A and B are shown apart, each in its own frame.
Chain A
Amino acid sequence: MCMEDEKLKTSALAHGGKRKGAGRKSGSGKFGEPTKVIRVPESKVERVKAWLEEGGDVSADDNVHYMALPQFKNAQVFRPDFTSHYDIGLYSHKVVAGFPSPADDNLEQTIDLNTHFIKKPNTTFLVKVQGDSMKQAGIYPGDLLAVDRSETPKDGKIVIASIDGELTVKRLSIKSTGTWLMPENDQYDPIPVRESSDLVIWGVVVSVLRSV
């Protein structure tokens, strides 16, 4: 602090050197704000200049703030990648062979299988089916089911139920006569839900995923 004052004094008294308040004012240039000197690759100089001339606006995309995910020691986070889009073009015309395709002009929308089969990625879990108790409902051993835990279980829905701690896939039947877990295979008996049984609906099946 002391040194600074001294300098200021001497410079004010001495001849020559920088005069206070001289020169162009900061921010009075064509950009209307203070500027900074930077290094730019030679090949890019023209592009940067042109961009600045246009107003130098940052596009909206650059301003998006992404939520920071938690960081923690010794952990690696794997997430099902719901951002992927396997787009399959949906055309409104048939493409005629041997003729220049007009389809490109008619590309109307695309299909994303992820969003089609999994509406709520946060609360949807995949489970694997063992056994054939639901085969008449089109659910076979080895099938993957997308199960949404946030969905409200209702009469007629196929659910994953925990009955006395065992997880099972069955159709939920809530009737005035009682609640049942119904298999869809004649070889199996319906499971009655009694007062004493410990039933928790774990989630509601929303999709069956199977490769053929």
Chain B
Amino acid sequence: MMPVYALVDANSFYASCEMAFNPKLAQRPVVVLSNNDGCIVAANKMAKELAKRFPINYGSGGYHAAKPTSMMFQPYFKVEKMLKRFNTAVFSSNYELYGDMSARMHRMLGEFSSAQEVYSIDESFLDLSGMSQWNLTEYAKKIKQTLHQGLGLPVAVGIGPSKTLAKLANHLAKKHDAYQGVLDLTALSEPVVDALLRQVAVGDVWGVGKKRAQQLTDMGIQTALDLKYANVKMLRRRFSVVMERLVLELNNQACLRLEEVAPAKQQILSSRSFGQPIRDFDLVAQAVASYTARAAQKLRAEGSVCQYISVFLRTNPFKSNAPFYQNQHTYGLVYPTDHTGLVLTMAKRALKRIWQPGLAYHKAGVCLSDISPKGAMQLDVFAPDPKYSANPKSDALMTVMDQINQRMGRGSVQLAAEGLADKQAWQMRRALCSPRYTTRLNEVLTVW
């Protein structure tokens, strides 16, 4: 049986979530900003078209994914003037709202297929194998219609005989208005599919990064079609088996299966830019303590332990009139742990090592790595009574703390090292946040 996969994703997910609760926005350009209201991370169709009509050369800067020709991922201040002129609605990232809408969307998509891989906050792969006696285009339209009516979210559906082709079909479905957001490559003949592949730049193929795209282009492989008919053996030698798989996937051979259970994380990173530059050690230490507590909580939620703790710190790289400094330090543990207290001790020690007085810091972060499942630990004859690791008493303390925070809301119980909430000068700026319509009873939508 030939496998058939669908990739369903929401168009401009964050912006669409805002629009779902605010019908007035349908007639306005809408953009959503990243943490600290820094860069543009989502824009609705109207805003994107505006940006196309009034192109700005953005130059360098912005996120890694930013291109000098597009406003996506650019720092907000570069686009602000143009957007203001057209009465654009600007929002800070409302993660609670997007998270809840994402969970609803993925649950609804799960009902359309026997197997589902939640690929990102707004993308799911569905397994549609064995359903080819139905008209899959009609089925995809039904998925699209159900999500639009039920959640107010516009989605696009791409269907193909491999995950790579499903992703590509999704890309094409959004690019051409005539498809109305739905494209089934399995319903088309090979020459037609090839004609479509010719329209897709090799860099837009799933799994081909910026660097690989450049290398392939230099070899004369410019489009997805070129890649499909490229010499597999040569590509494998030059790159890797990953590239070989990609070519096979473009040739209708499914090599990648659905990952129904997300693999345990290799590392947990908790970092954020500060709301304003900070020179005071105690304040930075508070921020680091808070990120550490959050990371350790995530670790426990996964049922894992970590063995390495890194802390990093940096000043603002975009301030040309101040010296730029960044550094990081890592401590390893003899016994892996999931205990906030121990992780915090190590994190603070690391922070002291890299701290340089007199600088205005912009960002700090904590990274837990060498993560493994928490199992029964072999006890050590030299440490018969460990304080943190595999100590039932400290485990119980952490469990109670997590339970309280889950039931009463995040931050109900916290370590004194994190500082008091109203004194957290380092907290991120989110001045333009919309109400948390779906998760806070006192912020739900009001109707007349």
Q: Which residues of A contact B (CB under 8 A)?
A: 39, 65, 67-80, 120, 122-123, 125-131, 133, 144-145, 149-150, 160, 162, 165-169, 200, 202
Contact = CB atoms under 8 A, between A and B. Distances in A.
Contacts of B151: 122-123, 149
Contacts of A128: 444-447
A122 B108 contact: yes
B27 interface: yes
Contacts of A123: 104, 108, 149-151
B106 A127 contact: no
Nearest to B439: A78
A125 B97 CA distance: 12
A69 B118 contact: yes
A70 B101 CA distance: 11
Given A68-B260, A71-B262, A77-B103, 19 more contacts: A70-B121, A72-B121, A74-B272, A75-B96, A75-B98, A76-B96, A76-B410, A78-B100, A78-B439, A80-B439, A120-B150, A123-B149, A125-B438, A131-B448, A149-B150, A167-B23, A168-B447, A168-B448, A200-B23
Contact of A67 (B24, B95, B106, B410): B106
8 contacts: A70-B103, A74-B272, A75-B121, A76-B99, A131-B448, A149-B151, A150-B146, A150-B149
A165 B102 CA distance: 24
Interface string B38-57: 00000000000000000000
Contacts of B107: 67, 122
Interface string B128-143: 0000000000000000
Contacts of B112: none
A70 B272 contact: no
A169 B448 CA distance: 6
Nearest to B97: A78
A185 to B, nearest CB: 12
A67 B151 CA distance: 20
A187 to B, nearest CB: 14
Interface of B: 23-24, 26-27, 35, 95-96, 98-100, 102-104, 106-108, 110, 116, 118, 120-121, 146, 149-152, 260-262, 265, 269-270, 272, 376, 410, 436-441, 444-448
B121 to A, nearest CB: 5
Contacts of A73: 269
Nearest to A77: B99
B447 A75 contact: no
- Top 3 A-B residue pairs of the complex, sorted by shortest distance between their CB atoms: A165-B24, A77-B99, A123-B150
B46 to A, nearest CB: 15
B438 A80 contact: yes
A122 B105 CA distance: 8
Contacts of A126: 438, 441, 444
B85 to A, nearest CB: 21
B102 A70 contact: yes
A150 B437 CA distance: 18
Contact of A150 (B102, B150, B261): B150
A74 B23 CA distance: 28
B448 A167 contact: yes
A67 B96 CA distance: 20
A111 to B, nearest CB: 22
A165 B149 contact: no
A62 B104 CA distance: 25
Contacts of A200: 23
A130 B445 CA distance: 10
A169 B447 contact: yes
A202 B437 CA distance: 14
Given A123-B151, A130-B447, A165 B260 contact: no
Contacts of B35: 74
Contacts of B27: 165
B445 A65 contact: no
B447 A167 contact: yes
Nearest to B148: A149
A165 B21 CA distance: 11
A133 B261 CA distance: 49
A51 B99 CA distance: 42
Contacts of A76: 95-96, 99, 410
Nearest to A160: B447
Given A77-B100, A162-B23, A167-B23, A70 B150 contact: no
A74 B95 contact: yes
Contacts of B439: 78-80
B261 A68 contact: yes
Contacts of B261: 65, 68
A130 B118 contact: no
**Which residue, of B99, B269, B272, has the highest number of chain A Cβ atoms within 10 A?**
B99
A69 B104 contact: no
A129 B447 contact: yes
Contacts of B108: 122-123
**Which residue, of B150, B439, B446, has the highest number of chain A Cβ atoms within 10 A?**
B150
B118 A67 contact: yes
A166 B448 contact: yes
